[in-house]
Structures are given as structure tokens and as C-alpha cells.
């Protein structure tokens, strides 16, 4: 598999792909933290992200109803 170079996401977080894992690097001034998410973990993260999206959508809808 082909690796993909780092991309800056913001807030000191970089993402890359090593051919198997999605790798998140937190690059602070004094330390360096790496999280390598294998496909199963990435899928779980995507499910969580979808749940958050649904909650935010509901909150936006309720806020719109209040303003009407």
C-alpha cells in the first residue's frame, strides 16, 4: 500500500496514512503523541462521528424552532 504524506488538520494535529493505519500526531511544544487507528478503530471512530453529527443536527433544528 502507498503511504500518504502528513496533512495539518489544525490545533497542532497532523494526519497521515502509513499504508494501513490512519495516524494522528499531536505535535506540541514539548511532546509528541501518536495515535495509529487500524481500520476497525477508524470505523468505530466514524460511527461515533456520525452520532455526534446527528446530535448537532438535532440541536440546530431545535434552535431554529425556538427562533421562529
Which pLDDT tens digit goes with each residue over 15-55? 999 999 999 999 887 778 999 999 999 999 999 999 999 99
Question: Do 54 and 23 reside in the same domain of the chain?
Answer: no
Query: Residue 68: is its pLDDT beyond 80?
Result: no
- Our count of domains for the chain comes to 2
Q: For residues 27 and 48, state if they share a domain.
A: no
Pair (16, 46) in one structural domain: no
Q: Do residues 37 and 21 lie in contact, with contact meaning Cβ atoms separated by under 8 Å?
A: yes
Q: Model's pTM, two decimal places?
A: 0.73
**Where in the sequence is the domain holding 55, given as residue range(s)?**
39-68
Which distant-in-sequence residues (6+ apart) come within 8 Å of 9 by Cβ? 15
Residues 33 and 43 reside in one and the same domain = no
Amino acid at each position: 500500500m502507498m503511504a500518504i504524506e502528513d496533512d495539518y488538520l489544525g490545533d497542532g494535529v497532523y494526519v497521515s496514512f502509513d499504508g494501513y493505519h490512519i495516524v494522528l500526531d499531536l505535535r506540541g511544544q514539548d511532546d509528541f503523541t501518536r495515535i495509529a487507528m487500524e481500520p476497525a478503530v477508524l470505523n468505530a471512530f466514524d460511527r461515533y462521528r456520525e452520532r455526534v453529527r446527528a446530535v448537532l443536527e438535532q440541536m440546530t433544528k431545535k434552535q431554529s424552532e425556538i427562533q421562529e
